[in-house]
Amino acid sequence: MQLKPLFTFLSGLAKHNERPWFQERKATYDQLRAQFVEDAEYWFQELQKLDTELAGPEGRKSVFRIYRDVRFSNNKDPYKTHFSVYFTASGKDIETPGYYLQLGPNGNTLIAGGMYQPEKEQLAAIRQEIDYNADELKTLLAAPDFQRYFGGLGGDRLKKAPAAYAADHPEIELLKHKSFVATHQMADADVLNHEDFRAYVLEVFRAMVPFCQFLRHAISQ
């Protein structure tokens, strides 16, 4: 993937987020997207070797469209200003644990995974798994590679204990989470100057495999 031309295109799109500008440069967009899809195919194939339950669609079908859904948004810009892809065991379904890459200029590049705002039943199942099996989660969160890339568990949290758990529960800080995500943010310079960005993305994904597997096991019981 040619990162500098991609960032140049997306920076221009951020300044001119309108259909005429985009249509004039549609050939450039198509070429850049084809390169991104090629890398997505690579990440998907390699991830399948690391996470055998990852049986979703092929990489190209896991890539998100650049066109924004503006029906319910105050922001009427027609285009996203990043490329993104999400790999999961059930297809491009954000309601299941998976691996996410967002690539774009102005600090908009991140490699992430887990579950963002799980449904009520899913959240209850994850909290139950933490209640029964917190040691496993704490061990994988403390793993050197997980700490290196993510620093710890991220995601929105309750200010108080969830209704089903006592405030003095030994794992109350984990149980307060409403989302369970791991995020590795990257500065533009780190992306553009990386010797092998494609390999680096896979390396970061590898570090979150046990985390995604824990969440998937929790919601599948």
Q: 19-69: per-residue pLDDT in tens? A: 999 999 999 999 999 999 999 999 999 999 999 888 655 667 889 999 998
pLDDT of residue 25: 97
Whole-prediction pTM value?
A: 0.93
Q: Which of 9, 100, 118 is nearest to 47 (CA)?
A: 100
Average pLDDT over residues 9-27: 97
How far is residue 81's CA from residue 15's CA, in Å, rounded to a whole number? Answer: 10
Which numeric CATH code is attached to 3-220?
Answer: 3.30.930
173 burial type by CB count under 10 A (0-12 exposed, 13-18 middle, 19+ buried): exposed
Position 162, amino acid: P
> Encoding tokens for residue 157?
């949290």
- pLDDT, average across residues 204-221: 94
pLDDT for the residue numbered 140: 97
Closest-CA residue to 203 (of 154, 141, 148, 153): 148
Q: What is the pLDDT of residue 56?
A: 57
User: Do 15 and 38 meet the contact criterion of CB atoms below 8 Å apart?
Assistant: no
Closest CA to 156 of 181, 177, 130: 177
> Percent of the chain having pLDDT more than 70?
95
Confidence of residue 96 (pLDDT cuts 50, 70, 90): confident
Q: What are phi and psi of 69, to 5 degrees?
A: -90, 105
Average pLDDT on 131-149 reads 96
C-alpha Rg value of the chain to the nearest Å: 19
For 71-75, 149-153, 171-175, 198-202, which range has the lowest pLDDT when averaged over its residues? Answer: 71-75
